């Protein structure tokens, strides 16, 4: 799990969107003009302009009442045709799922993870196919039954028909989703064993920046590597001057929990180079430091809770114990002498006297971590210690995750309805299904092709290499053949670029799921807005495309 969600760059996405939509519109204009001119000559061109004029006038004469009527029709159709039998499947699934999910041997937080993941995955994997099928078959059936004839011979614009279908199916899907989410929520609450209940929460972490001091006390970018192949965690040696130092910025009293305590949650690893005292876990100690005043307040020792992590509660009013001494385990604190916020959080920025660069901004506190046991090691990476600000209710995160599914559902509806304006039900289903699957799985691979990161060149070049048994990295002989081949390949890559950009990235919608199942909150800007932006980004061109297709086809054609 990445702990700092990569922010979604709305501006860049917007520009990219404009580019793609522009390219597609341009292609459509050119192709339609060519077709019209090719089939009917100059008369075709006047017909083209007339048609474009009529389309534009349709765009501005939309009526909310008609759109609402068409959406309601779609909704009624789904209800009265008993499309919602999916609830029954859902219900059955949940009745029996409990048997297989009895994960009571796992630690509570893993139980939460199992249950939450199961519920949300079940919801999305049940709801997406239903919505996909419903919305892929709706319009084609309407055309086949010719009931659409009666609608299009009323002043209903075909754009309104597309919109009505989309809204209607989205509404159906939303209702199904809400019911499922409520049932799923109750189910989690009821099925989850009592011990795991309190793990149902949304932690809001404040992460710091991690730096190290080596055993001599010099600054270091990393700690020691104890032999992990995967060098994610760095280790500090016990009973030396080695320290891990987290810099937390932008702190004030709002990071304290409801009782006014600071909660530091860690997930340190222990590495023993000798047995030591096997009866207890390794000791570590926090030392809180105000970078402005240099005040250091050591906290009584704690023991590492390996693999599970622990939340240390540090009272706002602090006494003091000895620093870096095993005695700090038993020795009583002095009477409360410091205030965590007032004394330990810097009030002014610390500036380098020579370069005038700000080293620590105002509102900074350092948390040094040291290992007490000699010859033992404590391992950590940046996300292994964070300030746990007041938790949000688990249900806040649950709602965000459900909203993510909702956006995905709407996108699927939009794609399906669009597909169903130009192909029949089964083909539309297949098409949308492929889009969803590719969007979920193959985008990374496509990105590699588009960015020319795959060795061996494009389609023709790689076929050539295959036939010639050439290594993908050997150079091709220079010559016109190679040039032509490369030219065609680069044209294909450009096409691929378009396809790559047209296929939606579904990973954005389920982002918040992994946070939620691990008990973390993720802010709305990461959990919901990107999904919203993507859905909207598809909605607009899809509506236009669907309208175009429906308008330019004879509804008679079977």
Partner 1 sequence: MSTSGASREAVIEIRNLSKIYRDFWGRKKVRALNSLSLDVYKGEVFGLLGPNGSGKTTTLKLLLGLLFPTEGEISILGEPASNVSKNERIGYLPEESYLYRFLNAEETLDFYGRLFDMPASVRKERTEKLLDLVKISHARKRQLKEYSKGMTRRIGLAQALINDPDLVLLDEPTSGLDPLGNRDMKDLILDLKKQGKTILMCSHLLADVQDVCDRIAILYGGELKVLGRVEDLLKSQNQTQILSSQLTPAALAEVEAVLKKHDASFQVDHPTASLEELFLRTVQESKERPGHRLVTPDSKSQAG
* Contact footprint for partner 1 (CB under 8 A): 50-51, 54, 57-58, 61, 63, 65-66, 68-70, 72-73, 76-77, 80-81, 145-158, 554-557
Hey, how many other C-beta atoms are within 10 angstroms of the C-beta on 300? Answer: 19
**How far is 128 from 292, CA to CA, in rounded Å?**
55
> Which residue's CB is nearer to partner 1, number 55 or number 532?
55
Helical packing angle, 394-420 and 425-441, nearest 10°: 140
> Which residue's CB is nearer to partner 1, number 478 or number 556?
556
**How far is 451 from 105, CA to CA, in rounded Å?**
46
| Minimal distance, residue 34 CB to partner 1, in Å | 16
Q: Where are the alpha helices (DSSP H) in 296-424?
A: 340-344, 394-420
The tokens for 218 are 């010099």
309: left (phi over 0), alpha (psi -120 to 50) or beta: left
| Minimal distance, residue 166 CB to partner 1, in Å | 17
| Minimal distance, residue 131 CB to partner 1, in Å | 19
> Which residue's CB is nearer to partner 1, number 105 or number 145?
145
What one-character DSSP code corresponds to residue 327? Answer: G
| Minimal distance, residue 558 CB to partner 1, in Å | 9
Helix (H, G, I), strand (E, B) or coil at 525: helix
> Which residue's CB is nearer to partner 1, number 45 or number 524?
45
| Minimal distance, residue 127 CB to partner 1, in Å | 23
Hey, how many other C-beta atoms are within 10 angstroms of the C-beta on 191? Answer: 17
> Which residue's CB is nearer to partner 1, number 164 or number 404?
164
Pairing of strands 310-314, 262-266: antiparallel
Helical packing angle, 10-60 and 529-551, nearest 10°: 30
- Asked whether 265 and 311 are in contact (CB, 8 A), the reply is yes
- Asked whether 381 and 210 are in contact (CB, 8 A), the reply is yes
| Minimal distance, residue 85 CB to partner 1, in Å | 15
Burial of 120 (0-12, 13-18, 19+ CB in 10 A): buried
> Which residue's CB is nearer to partner 1, number 126 or number 162?
162
> Which residue's CB is nearer to partner 1, number 148 or number 419?
148
| Minimal distance, residue 76 CB to partner 1, in Å | 7
Phi, psi for residue 368 in degrees, rounded to 5: -95, 140
> Which residue's CB is nearer to partner 1, number 67 or number 409?
67
Hey, how many other C-beta atoms are within 10 angstroms of the C-beta on 32? Answer: 16
> Which residue's CB is nearer to partner 1, number 34 or number 358?
34
| Minimal distance, residue 415 CB to partner 1, in Å | 23
| Minimal distance, residue 44 CB to partner 1, in Å | 13
What one-character DSSP code corresponds to residue 8? Answer: P
| Minimal distance, residue 413 CB to partner 1, in Å | 20
Helix (H, G, I), strand (E, B) or coil at 115: helix
307-326 in b/e form (b: 16+ CB < 10 A) is: eeebebebebebbbbeebee
> Which residue's CB is nearer to partner 1, number 43 or number 308?
43
The tokens for 429 are 């289903």
Helix (H, G, I), strand (E, B) or coil at 94: helix
The tokens for 217 are 């006390």
What one-character DSSP code corresponds to residue 348? Answer: S
> Which residue's CB is nearer to partner 1, number 83 or number 120?
83
> Which residue's CB is nearer to partner 1, number 64 or number 294?
64
Q: How many residues does the chain have?
A: 558
3-state helix/strand/coil string of 459-505? HHHHHHHHHCCCCCCCCCCCCHHHHHHHHHHHHHHHHHHHHHHHCCC
| Minimal distance, residue 157 CB to partner 1, in Å | 6
| Minimal distance, residue 147 CB to partner 1, in Å | 5
**How far is 163 from 115, CA to CA, in rounded Å?**
37
Strand partners, 350: 360
535: left (phi over 0), alpha (psi -120 to 50) or beta: alpha
> Which residue's CB is nearer to partner 1, number 65 or number 356?
65
**How far is 349 from 356, CA to CA, in rounded Å?**
11
| Minimal distance, residue 267 CB to partner 1, in Å | 56
> Which residue's CB is nearer to partner 1, number 156 or number 365?
156
The tokens for 477 are 């002989």
| Minimal distance, residue 414 CB to partner 1, in Å | 23
């Amino acid at each position: 799990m990445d702990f700092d969600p990569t922010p979604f760059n709305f501006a860049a996405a917007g520009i990219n969107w404009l580019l793609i939509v522009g390219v597609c519109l341009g292609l459509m204009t050119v192709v339609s003009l060519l077709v019209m001119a090719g089939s009917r000559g100059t008369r075709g061109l006047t017909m083209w302009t007339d048609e474009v004029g009529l389309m534009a006038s349709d765009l501005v004469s939309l009526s909310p009442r008609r759109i609402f009527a068409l959406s309601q029709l779609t909704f009624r159709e789904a209800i009265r045709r008993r499309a919602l039998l999916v609830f029954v499947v859902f219900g059955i699934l949940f009745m029996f799922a409990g048997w297989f999910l009895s994960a009571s041997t796992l630690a509570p937080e893993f139980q939460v993870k199992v249950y939450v993941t199961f519920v949300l995955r079940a919801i999305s994997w049940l709801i997406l196919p239903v919505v996909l099928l419903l919305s892929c078959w709706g319009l084609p059936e309407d055309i086949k039954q010719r009931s659409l004839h009666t609608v299009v011979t009323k002043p209903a614009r075909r754009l309104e028909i597309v919109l009505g279908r989309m809204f209607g199916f989205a509404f159906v899907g939303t209702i199904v989703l809400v019911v499922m989410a409520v049932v799923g929520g109750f189910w989690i609450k009821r099925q989850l064993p009592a011990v795991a209940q309190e793990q149902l929460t949304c932690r809001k972490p404040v992460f710091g920046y991690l730096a190290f001091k080596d055993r001599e006390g010099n600054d270091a970018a990393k700690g020691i590597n104890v032999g992990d192949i995967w060098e994610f965690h760095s280790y500090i040696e016990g009973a030396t001057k080695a320290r891990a130092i987290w810099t937390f910025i932008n702190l004030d009293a709002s990071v304290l929990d409801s009782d006014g305590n600071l909660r530091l949650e860690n997930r340190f690893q222990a590495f023993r180079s000798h047995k030591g005292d096997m009866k207890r876990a390794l000791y570590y100690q926090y030392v809180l430091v105000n970078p402005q005043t240099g005040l250091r307040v050591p906290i009584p020792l704690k023991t590492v809770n390996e693999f599970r992590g622990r939340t240390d509660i540090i009272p706002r009013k602090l006494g003091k114990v000895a620093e870096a001494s095993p005695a700090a385990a038993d020795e009583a604190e002095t009477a409360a002498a410091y205030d965590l916020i007032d004394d330990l959080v810097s009030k002014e920025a610390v500036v380098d006297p020579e370069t005038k660069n700000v080293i620590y901004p105002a509102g900074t506190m350092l948390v040094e971590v040291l290992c007490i046991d000699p010859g033992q090691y404590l391992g950590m990476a940046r996300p292994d210690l964070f300030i746990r600000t007041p938790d949000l209710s688990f249900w806040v995160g649950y709602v965000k995750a459900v909203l993510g599914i909702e956006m995905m559902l709407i996108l699927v509806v939009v794609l399906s309805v669009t597909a169903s304006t130009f192909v029949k039900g089964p083909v539309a289903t297949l098409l949308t299904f492929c889009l969803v699957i590719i969007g979920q799985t193959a985008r990374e691979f496509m990105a590699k092709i588009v960015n020319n990161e795959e060795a061996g060149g494009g389609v023709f070049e790689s076929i050539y290499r295959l036939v010639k048994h050439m290594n993908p990295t050997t150079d091709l002989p220079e010559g016109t053949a190679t040039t032509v081949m490369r030219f065609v390949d680069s044209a294909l890559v450009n096409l691929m670029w378009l396809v790559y950009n047209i296929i939606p990235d579904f990973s954005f919608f389920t982002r918040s799921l992994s946070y939620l199942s691990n008990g973390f909150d993720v802010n709305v800007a990461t959990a919901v807005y990107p999904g919203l932006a993507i859905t909207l980004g598809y909605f607009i061109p899809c509506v236009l495309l669907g309208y175009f297709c429906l308008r330019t086809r004879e509804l008679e054609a079977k």
